[in-house]
Chain A
Amino acid sequence: MIFNSFTFLLFFPMVTVLYFLLPHKFRWMLLLGASCYFYMFFKAIYILILFFTIIIDYTAGIYLEKVTDPKKKKLLLILSLTANIGVLAVFKYFNFFNANLSGILYWMGYTNPIPFLQILLPIGLSFHTFQAMSYTIEVYRGHQKAEHHFGIYALYVMFYPQLVAGPIERPQNLLHQFKEYHQFNALDVSEGLKRMLIGFFKKVVVADRLSIYVKTVFANYPEHGSATLVLASLFFAVQIYCDFSGYSDIAIGSARVMGFKLMENFKRPYFAKSISEFWSRWHISLSTWFKDYVYIPLGGNRVSKGRLYLNLFAVFMISGLWHGANWTFIVWGALHGFYLVCGMATQKWRAAVANKLGIGKGGFANFLNIAFTICLVTVSWIFFRAASLEQAWGLLKGIFIYKPGFFIGEPTYFLYDFMAIAALFFYELKQEYNLRSLRFLHNENWGVRMASYLGLIFIILLFGVFDGGQFIYFQF
């Protein structure tokens, strides 16, 4: 089931009302049942994959707590991680690696005897695998007690608001919340609903509206002029942000309605003044996951400069591969790794040059840094969006080797695109700089607040795209 479907608009209030009506001891059953139903909407049989990893990790957690021998503990952790990564390897990466092997063997004059798997990637597999792995790692490290209630543990991995696209939660933050009694709280409900409304706006009014232009241009990029390709790339940068952060808003909001507090996943990333700041604002749950479970175990900042750069680059390459089994994602990750390493290596030099030019500090410097970061990120998004490296390269060539012509498409839709971006920019700007004037959704006057909610609902109804389909990040 997708959030931007009418089915969800029926499912969500029904589950929420039942949740508050049921006695606390039965609530986990309701949430687990609802989560299974939610997931089975995509491809029912794939729920068995989830149960496979749930059983493995649940058992591993209990034994990790019981066993005292460090060697045995490590073995248990390795077994659990292997099972999780194994599932990912089979369902997500097998055909990719096999295709590359075929290419190498073909180049050497051989035929690859290994057949390809005829399977579809289970939706959100990377998200719940990473969430499950964070549990066993935390139990192994002793930061989290093993969960003995199988239903509660299953719910931790399957909680429907964040099941298919995060935020990738940590057991310390989420597990205990399933055991706490959540009384109906008007503040939580209204804040949650508000957050959901903003999420719907981002998804159906901004992301899906922009996707019409982006799809048209990317599908026929050789025919378009440089300005069109630049605009489509910038639109995609906004589209993917609104698509994913919109999902996170709906996830966080729908959990909040029931009294659950999920971690924040986005913090207005396009206001970042550097790539490293961008990664502290974009997909925060994934970047902190990689920091805690890959980057720090590799040595973190306490290694030589060369090793540090290598580690950073490696983490971003893995992050790219996490996103998708395609070279385009690996190049996307590698580009971000490269940006970060370059940024760190040239930091002092850049600061000196900026100071000499008198643009080292102040509003103009911030503006330049934000604009430069957006440019770098947008170039990387081209690889993320492209179906192949060839397409990405073709697009970049189209941008940098000037070709005249500008495509507008349907003029009213083009106007909607800019209206949507303007509304989003206004909203984010107010949040970023904590501007207290022109408050709508958070106005102290209840009448203004209600008019704002209604206004937003009607904007969604009148300008939203209701056939936009799935969220981009579901494929990961």
Chain B
Amino acid sequence: MKQLKENSNKFFIRLLLMIVAFVAVDQIAGACLYYFFTHQASGEYAVANHVVYNLNEDVLVLGSSRASHHYNSSLIKDSLKLSCFNGGRDGEGLLYSTAIFELALQRHIPKVVILDVTSDVLSEKEDEKSRLSILLPYLKQSDVVGNMIEKKGKLELLKSSLQTYRYNGQVVSIFQHYFLSSGNAVMGFDPLTNKMDASKVSTHTSLKPYSDSISADNVEALNLLISECKRKKIQLFVFVSPRYNDDTQQNSYLKMKSICNNNKVIFHDFTNDVYFKNPEYYSDRAHLNSRGADLYTDTVAAFVKRRLASEANVQYLSKNEIHGSLN
């Protein structure tokens, strides 16, 4: 009995020591990882870090992979005479774009924001919330990030109080991009170099028309982004960039159009623009390659230029008008 009690006491002392060591290691490792994280020279987080910590450009592009691969920041800069940074990120939706935008606004207010959306941007998607973990390293920067993280689950913020957990799944990538700079992104623009094999791409779309349900969180995020732009007098453009196949028959698309209309936000859909229906311009059916991206950026820049020149926020321009403005 005495032996058992002694063993128990020893166990609890060791358990306590281990908890103390755990907290200490977590804090130290978290601080080290934060340093390497914020000093990455390349990669997707380097792009996000620029938006959060160093943004000083006039034009900010936001959106998913289609934003990051479609908008050539240098061409926008040359055309608009406004510096530009592309903050798009592969696989991310509105929740990410809104959060990163809010973080950027804490230290810099751009003049123009281009938000690239897909037709299903407001649809409920299975894994969208789980992907919000990528915002964890920015948790202490803004309450907005905390609110976004909470959408993942009630206990998510509690879990995130562990410093190391915030870098879950990122360690190798952080060190890789800290020590070995790689990738060809320039001012956030990440051009795709390959050419799509049109013979292997079906022109048939398998999406069921108007079968998607709308995500209240995504609608809230879009409204927040729009209201922040209005409040800070930022000119917001919402574009649906071209794709080889049409997939616009979604409730999300209708909802997004109506939100933009109601808020007098300039919205234009390039999805079915015949000008971009050339397979030579694509890397795959949803992404333009660098050639297509340059052509598209020229078109968009001309569009934005016209809109910035004319103060009135007319909702839609005809395609001829847009392409005419290039000449």
Q: Which residue of A lies closest to B162 (CB)?
A: A461
A189:B168 contact, CB within 8 angstroms = no
Judged by a CB distance under 8 angstroms, whether A260 is at the interface is: no
**What is the distance, in angstroms, from B202's C-beta to the closest C-beta of chain A?**
12
A186:B7 contact, CB within 8 angstroms = yes
Judged by a CB distance under 8 angstroms, whether B34 is at the interface is: no
> CB-CB < 8 A to A189: which residues of B?
11
A461:B8 contact, CB within 8 angstroms = no
> CB-CB < 8 A to B130: which residues of A?
467
> CB-CB < 8 A to A465: which residues of B?
169
A183:B4 contact, CB within 8 angstroms = yes
Judged by a CB distance under 8 angstroms, whether B14 is at the interface is: yes
> CB-CB < 8 A to A187: which residues of B?
7
A412:B21 contact, CB within 8 angstroms = no
User: Given A450-B14, A454-B22: A462 and B164 within 8 A (CB)?
Assistant: yes
A186:B18 contact, CB within 8 angstroms = no
> CB-CB < 8 A to A186: which residues of B?
4, 7-8, 10-11
A457 to B23, CA, bound (A): 12
> CB-CB < 8 A to A466: which residues of B?
133, 159, 168
> CB-CB < 8 A to B127: which residues of A?
467
A458:B8 contact, CB within 8 angstroms = no
User: Given A450-B14, A457-B22, A467-B130: A412 and B172 within 8 A (CB)?
Assistant: yes
Judged by a CB distance under 8 angstroms, whether B25 is at the interface is: yes
Judged by a CB distance under 8 angstroms, whether B312 is at the interface is: no
B172:A190 contact, CB within 8 angstroms = no
**What is the distance, in angstroms, from A187's C-beta to the closest C-beta of chain B?**
7
Interface membership of chain A positions 401-415, coded 1 if the CB is closer than 8 angstroms to chain B and 0 otherwise: 000000000001101
Main secondary structure of the interface of B (DSSP, over half): helix
Q: Which residue of B lies closest to A209 (CB)?
A: B169
Question: What is the size, in residues, of chain A's interface with B at 8 Å between Cβ atoms?
Answer: 26
Question: What is the size, in residues, of chain B's interface with A at 8 Å between Cβ atoms?
Answer: 30
Q: Which residues in chain A, 145-161, are within 8 Å of chain B measured between CB atoms?
A: none
Choose from B158, B168, B172, B173 the contact partner of A461 (Cβ within 8 Å).
B168
**What is the distance, in angstroms, from A203's C-beta to the closest C-beta of chain B?**
15
A179 to B59, CA, bound (A): 71
User: Given A190-B11, A412-B176, A453-B18: A462 and B25 within 8 A (CB)?
Assistant: no
A185:B4 contact, CB within 8 angstroms = yes
**What is the distance, in angstroms, from B151's C-beta to the closest C-beta of chain A?**
13
> CB-CB < 8 A to B169: which residues of A?
412-413, 416, 462-463, 465
Q: Which residue of B lies closest to A464 (CB)?
A: B168
Judged by a CB distance under 8 angstroms, whether B267 is at the interface is: no
A465 to B29, CA, bound (A): 19
Judged by a CB distance under 8 angstroms, whether B155 is at the interface is: yes
Judged by a CB distance under 8 angstroms, whether A106 is at the interface is: no
B8:A184 contact, CB within 8 angstroms = yes
B17:A450 contact, CB within 8 angstroms = yes
A130 to B139, CA, bound (A): 47
B155:A462 contact, CB within 8 angstroms = no
Interface membership of chain A positions 182-204, coded 1 if the CB is closer than 8 angstroms to chain B and 0 otherwise: 01111101100000000000000
Judged by a CB distance under 8 angstroms, whether A68 is at the interface is: no
Q: Which residues in chain A, 137-173, are within 8 Å of chain B measured between CB atoms?
A: none
Choose from B10, B153, B159, B168 the contact partner of A462 (Cβ within 8 Å).
B168
Q: Which residue of B lies closest to A455 (CB)?
A: B25
A462:B4 contact, CB within 8 angstroms = no
Choose from A6, A415, A453, A458 the contact partner of B155 (Cβ within 8 Å).
A6
Choose from A7, A183, A412 the contact partner of B173 (Cβ within 8 Å).
A412
Judged by a CB distance under 8 angstroms, whether A446 is at the interface is: yes
Q: Which residues in chain A, 437-475, are within 8 Å of chain B measured between CB atoms?
A: 446, 450, 453-454, 457-458, 461-467
| 10 A–B contacts, CB within 8 A, in A order | A186-B4, A186-B7, A412-B169, A416-B172, A450-B14, A453-B18, A457-B22, A458-B25, A461-B168, A462-B167
What is the interface of chain A, defined by CB distance below 8 A to chain B? 6-7, 183-187, 189-190, 412-413, 415-416, 446, 450, 453-454, 457-458, 461-467
